[in-house]
């Protein structure tokens, strides 16, 4: 996914341009711009330029979970244990 992009640079910067994010994700700049406009990617407008915070990139790449994402996962685990707890116990004892 990070083909041709120096991962060391990601540790040094806090904000990225549309072109840099496009390169990281391996998609076009237009695709990034459309995702920003639709609200799928958080970005801040500085003058005529958009910048994307490092935390947003980490979220897109799945390296960091937000609190909401953690709650969804916890809810799913609790539901699975509640509904399939006995089955899971039997599978674990085999």
Weakest-pLDDT range from 25-39, 42-56, 59-73: 59-73
For residue 89, give both structure tokens.
Answer: 């116990």
Same domain, 6 and 27: yes
Same domain, 23 and 43: yes
Given a contact cutoff of 8 angstroms between Cβ atoms, the answer to whether 44 and 50 are in contact is yes
Higher pLDDT, 12 or 32: 32
**Each residue's pLDDT tens digit, 47-60:** 999 999 988 888 88
pTM beyond 0.75: the answer is: no
35: CATH = 1.10.10
Q: What is the pLDDT of residue 57?
A: 86
């Amino acid at each position: 996914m990070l083909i041709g992009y120096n991962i060391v640079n990601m540790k040094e910067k806090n904000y990225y341009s549309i072109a840099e994010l496009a390169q990281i994700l391996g998609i076009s700049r237009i695709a990034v711009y459309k995702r920003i406009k639709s609200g799928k990617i958080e970005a801040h407008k500085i003058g005529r330029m958009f910048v994307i915070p490092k935390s947003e990139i980490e979220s897109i790449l799945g390296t960091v979970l937000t609190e909401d994402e953690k709650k969804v996962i916890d809810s799913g685990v609790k539901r699975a244990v509640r509904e399939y707890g006995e089955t899971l116990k039997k599978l674990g004892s085999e």
